[in-house]
Amino acid sequence: MAHFAELNQDNIVQRVIVVNNEVITNNNNEEEESLGIDFCKSLFGNETNWAQTSYNGSFRKRFAAKGYTFDITRNAFVPPKPFESWVLNENTCSWEAPVPKPNDGQEYKWNENTLSWDLII
């Protein structure tokens, strides 16, 4: 099955729907995103905006979810920024803390006030 994300005017994902693979397969037995977009528009209106997403993250970095942004320049779905201090990794399109999380087997949570990882006790 194919998956398509509906985007608002700011390219924020509103929902993700499932589309049968037959809908997006052309006469040469190749998948075409445009066929799926046309199908979604036929169901939900020509004014809607859609982008295909991959359930296993094989393209566009990750599977889209409500609230994610479709970054056209990076051709990727980017999750919401979790904290103001975090920065976007341009290669993975994932948000990263300004300080690496300790890798000592213990549980930590990010503290935005101190810009550090707090041990969960």
Note the pLDDT tens digit of each residue in 53-96: 999 989 999 999 999 999 999 999 999 999 999 999 999 999 99
- Residue 69 has what pLDDT? 98
- Encode pLDDT of 1-16 as tens digits: 999 999 999 999 999 9
Half-sphere exposure of 68 (CA within 13 A, CB side): 24
